[in-house]
Structure 1
Amino acid sequence: MTPTLLITTDYLAPGDEVDRLLREAGYATRHRPLRGTREPGELVAILDGCVGALIANEPMTAEVFARAPELRAVVRTGVGYDSVDVEAATKAGVSVSNLPGVNANAVAEYTMALLLAQARRLVTVAAEVRAGGWPREDGHELRGKTLGLLGYGATARAVVPLARAFGLTVLCTTGVPESGRGDVPVRFVDLPELLAESDFLSLHTALTPATRHLIDAAALARMKPAAHLINTARGAIVDEAALAAAVREGRLAGAALDVTGTEPLPADSPLRDVPGITVYSHLAGQTAEARREAGLDGARELLAALQGRPRCSLNAHLLPDNDRR
């Protein structure tokens, strides 16, 4: 019987080059694109009989791994993997991989687009013109301002030359040791200084227990009233109720959020209808170029993992026997 692979990333489709690559390697494919949310029971059902999975932000919980006994490898077609219980996967003998840096350039460009949109009020102005107005209020230039980067992974590093080209001074708070930072035109500071000095604070850190709601009411209170928050990382890094209150009350100028704690954005989210806050639909890494690279890299990683030779596995070193094919 031909082994089967599940594909849930919504931009991958039957017959595309990723599908052909996997089928030519001797696998059958099962496409069940994730659009919106999916309950664990549904995920278990579509994983039935699958030895591997190329996934979007699936809720890969301990229950899912326990009920998918044939599963041997999971690959996220992106960087974040907070939806995957890696510890449970390890106990189940499943290799879990992500694709570090696969969409760094796309997210970096998008980050700069959000900075410009906030500084020049582009979304607000377009909405007012659509409604029949002709707004003429001034905006702000990026040159001479300070950009704070929370995190210094591949995306943040890709932001630096773009920001410098716009004349921004770049500060960064990171856990990356000095030996791994390189000789870059960035000043590394602690978090309180980053919050206090940034005109734009851009989040580029992973969601972990330590970073969940790291940007809370206390952190927001340290920021300049004229500052803007940019988030292309993970929604739960920000306390959304505290952010909404800060912007409504004029203690923060605004925010551009590509990610939210719950996606799609719930009807009762505190982020809705707050002047100065613009919420986008998790598009930072979604360019044609990044999608193609993520799909192909993800497929190659899945094949390698099933052969016991993953390149980007988060837990292969903990598995007793990762040659599972």
Structure 2
Amino acid sequence: MSATILVTGADLAPQALALLADFKIVYAGPAPAEQDLVALCRAHDPVAIIVRYGMVGAAVMDAAPALKVISKHGSGSDTIDKQAAQARGIAVVAAVGANAPAVAEQALALLLACAKSVVALDARMHAGHWDKATHKSLELRGRSIGVVGLGAIGQRFALLAAALGMRVLGFDPHAGALPACVQRVSLETLWRTSDAISLHCPLTDDNRGLLNARTLAQCKRGVLLINTARGGLIDEAALLAAVRSGQVGMAGLDSFALEPMAAGHPFQGEKNFILSPHIGGVTDTAYVSMGVGAARNLLAVLDGRVAAP
């Protein structure tokens, strides 16, 4: 009887499924709750879980005695309780870099949409207005972009921003060699001197609420803020106040503290927010790359090429 792999989603790329042909694949659906995952683990006792959506914590792990590896369909593994996994000898792996081009492009799209008033002008045009005589957008060439987090995504975004003629300031205490276009600075310098800021760091206990009332007040007035990383990096109430006061000129966000965003969220209807539903890494190419990366990573653990903790 084939061993089981549980996918916390409704599908997986055919190229990934081909790599996992020797396993039984069980799907949890597009929005699995913890109790759903626990029930599926009890019913199927998977040897591996591919995490697309939902949280995988101790209760899910304890419901699957055969579990050897949890593989993230993407790079951010904050939805997995890594301490609980380590305590149980379960490996946690991630497809780091698989969606880097897609997320970097989404960050650039949000930056351009904020600087060029794309959404507002589109709405005005559809309403029959022609604002050529009264509108001025922001030219990014020559302005400073602060990039927080310089992994695969942050570095790729830095190169895109540099191609626009922007001065790239970067902060990442863990990064090694960087592209020549990136000037390393302290976080305090980045807040103080950037005309726009883009977040590309993983969410940890140490940086939760990294952008808050205090740090937002240190930024240039009218700064553009882009977040395609994790919503927990931002104190959302503080950001709302900063946008309403003009301290933050525009915010382009692809991730939020609680997802999916519920109806009535205070960002909804605010004219200086451009929002997308955490789809930065959701492209045709990234879907395949993340699926294949997740499959290869879990096979490496199950085959003994990567050791469990």
TM-score range, shorter chain: over 0.9
Equivalent pair of 1:203/1:231 in contact (CA under 8 Å): yes
The aligned residue for residue 210 of structure 1 is 206
Equivalent pair of 2:144/2:193 in contact (CA under 8 Å): yes
Q: Distance in 1 between matches of 2:296 and 2:218?
A: 45
Match 1:171 to one of 169, 172, 182: 169
The aligned residue for residue 8 of structure 2 is 8
Q: Does 1:147 align with 2:145?
A: yes
The aligned residue for residue 158 of structure 2 is 160
Match 1:271 to one of 267, 271, 275: 267
Q: Distance in 1 between matches of 2:190 and 2:236?
A: 20
User: Superposed, which structure 2 residues align to 1:21-170 within 5 Å?
Assistant: 21-23=19-21, 26-35=22-31, 38-48=32-42, 49-136=45-132, 137-170=135-168
Equivalent pair of 2:28/2:36 in contact (CA under 8 Å): no
The structural deviation recorded for 1:58 is: 2.4
Q: Distance in 1 between matches of 2:149 and 2:232?
A: 15
The structural deviation recorded for 1:245 is: 0.8
The structural deviation recorded for 1:31 is: 2.0
Equivalent pair of 1:78/1:100 in contact (CA under 8 Å): yes
Q: Distance in 2 between matches of 1:9 and 1:141?
A: 41
Q: Which moved more, 1:241-250 or 1:44-53?
A: 44-53
Equivalent pair of 1:22/1:299 in contact (CA under 8 Å): yes
Equivalent pair of 2:28/2:37 in contact (CA under 8 Å): no
Q: Distance in 2 between matches of 1:217 and 1:126?
A: 32
Query: Which one-letter code corresponds to 2:153 in the other structure?
Result: T
The structural deviation recorded for 1:183 is: 5.7
Match 1:195 to one of 191, 210, 213: 191
The structural deviation recorded for 1:129 is: 2.6
SS of residue paired to 2:47: strand
Q: Does 1:229 align with 2:225?
A: yes
Q: Per-residue displacement from partner, 1:252-309 (whole Å, max 9, x unpaired)?
A: 1010001001111122322222221111111111111111111111111111211222
The structural deviation recorded for 1:144 is: 0.9
The alignment yields a C-alpha RMSD, in angstroms, of 1.6
TM, length-normalised to structure 1: 0.89
Structure 1 gaps of 5+ residues are 311-315, 320-325
Equivalent pair of 2:155/2:179 in contact (CA under 8 Å): no
Q: Does 1:17 align with 2:18?
A: no
Q: Distance in 1 between matches of 2:114 and 2:202?
A: 23
Q: Does 1:282 align with 2:278?
A: yes
Q: Distance in 2 between matches of 1:266 and 1:229?
A: 22
* Percentage of identical aligned residues: 37
Q: Distance in 2 between matches of 1:254 and 1:235?
A: 16
TM, length-normalised to structure 2: 0.93
